[in-house]
């Protein structure tokens, strides 16, 4: 099978029939064998009934329904687990992603050797203040922090080699950072393609203002996990040791000042009256806690089931 098209959805009953027909037309027109995986993320409308009706007409449809709304990352994770195609494409169900972009994205993977091709909605048909400007700032920040040169990290339209989606785990709200996870897993050839962005035809957006809080927190989390997930002591230990040494040096300095004053018969206030003493003591306590946190995290990591999980690309003469 050439393609697995994974589409997470939530309350998109109006869009599904048109999207299914559009995808089928494009896939057949380009000679692709494919499967269409709908992941219903606990929809409260008739989305599931519509999918069941369409599955009678379109034999390519496979679908999974969640008992409640778990989020886009959970839907993608399950879809990736079930995908069987040599290449995997993800897109949103709201008709804002154009299936006609898929053949060129697959060609870039096949002929140009990309592991992942992400869509770039260069011209967006979204509200400027609530989506366009925050999206530009977010993508600029992620580019600076991860060195992945994508203009639209969170675009729902992406194409992957099968090995990529089988090597990463998407959870929480990490769907925004799939290219980062892919790079960490060893897939470094990541490209992008300018894609046409459609105006929303039915319904309303499912993402609220909470994404402005979750996004930065998830970015910090994914950067920490990718860099220090298997060696947390390298992060906590360095900071802990540095803070402890600084605190210890400051304590010695305060103590030596007191001893020198006594030696020369100079009246000096009590050490406990010196504010620097408490700053130094706090630094030593925090340093010890950081070090212990790193030590415990390292113990947990060493006992985890995937502590020696590595991505093997090829084996010869095994």
**Distances in Å between the alpha carbon of 195 and those of 31, 101, 171?**
21, 6, 26
Q: Tell me the three state secondary structure of residue 53.
A: helix
* Exposure class string for 166-193: b at 16+ Cβ within 10 A, else e: ebbebeebbbbbbbbbbbbbebeebbbb
Q: Residue 35 belongs to what H/E stretch?
A: strand 34-40
Q: Tell me the three state secondary structure of residue 126.
A: coil
What share of the chain has pLDDT > 90, as a percent? 45
Task: List pLDDT tens digits, range 268-316.
Answer: 777 777 888 888 989 999 999 988 888 887 777 666 555 445 444 444 4
Contact between residue 189 and residue 115 where contact means Cβ atoms under 8 Å apart = yes
Quick check: 106 pLDDT over 60?
yes
Task: List pLDDT tens digits, range 66-93.
Answer: 999 988 999 999 999 999 999 999 999 9
Kindly list the domain boundaries of the chain, sorted by start residue.
3-228, 233-302
Give the closest residue to 138 by CA, choosing from 122, 149, 154, 124: 154
Give the closest residue to 138 by CA, choosing from 151, 149, 128: 151
Task: List pLDDT tens digits, range 212-229.
Answer: 566 667 667 766 766 676
Quick check: 192 pLDDT over 80?
yes
What are the tokens at 203? 């319904």
Q: Does domain 3-228 have CATH number 3.40.190.10?
A: no
Distance CA 297, CA 243 (A): 19
């Amino acid at each position: 099978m050439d393609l697995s098209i994974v589409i997470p959805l939530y309350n998109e009953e109006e869009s599904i029939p048109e999207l299914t027909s559009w995808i089928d037309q494009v896939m057949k027109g380009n000679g692709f064998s494919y499967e269409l995986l709908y992941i219903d993320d606990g929809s409260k409308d008739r989305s599931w009934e519509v999918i069941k009706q369409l599955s009678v007409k379109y034999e390519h449809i496979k679908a999974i329904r969640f008992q409640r709304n778990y989020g886009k990352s959970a839907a993608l994770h399950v879809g990736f687990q079930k995908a069987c195609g040599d290449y995997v494409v993800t897109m949103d169900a709201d008709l804002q992603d154009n299936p006609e972009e898929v053949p060129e994205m697959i060609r870039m993977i096949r002929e140009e050797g990309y592991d992942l091709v992400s869509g770039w909605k260069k011209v967006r048909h979204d509200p400027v203040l609530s989506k366009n400007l925050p999206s530009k700032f977010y993508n600029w920040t992620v580019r600076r922090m991860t060195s992945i040169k994508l203009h639209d990290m969170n675009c729902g339209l992406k194409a992957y080699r099968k090995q990529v989606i089988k090597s990463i785990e998407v959870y929480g709200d990490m769907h925004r950072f799939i290219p980062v996870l892919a790079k960490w897993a060893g897939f470094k050839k990541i490209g992008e393609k300018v894609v046409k962005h459609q105006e929303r035809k039915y319904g309303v957006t499912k993402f609220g203002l909470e994404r402005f809080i979750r996004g930065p927190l998830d970015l910090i989390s994914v950067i920490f996990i990718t860099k220090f997930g298997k060696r947390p002591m390298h992060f906590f230990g360095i900071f802990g040791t540095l803070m402890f040494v600084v605190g210890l040096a400051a304590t010695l300095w305060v103590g030596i000042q007191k001893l020198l004053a006594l030696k020369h018969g100079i009246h000096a206030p009590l050490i406990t009256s010196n504010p620097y003493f408490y700053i130094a003591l706090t630094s030593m306590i925090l340093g010890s806690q950081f070090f212990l946190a790193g030590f415990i995290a390292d113990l947990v990591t060493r006992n985890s089931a995937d502590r020696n999980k590595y991505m093997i690309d090829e084996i010869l003469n095994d």
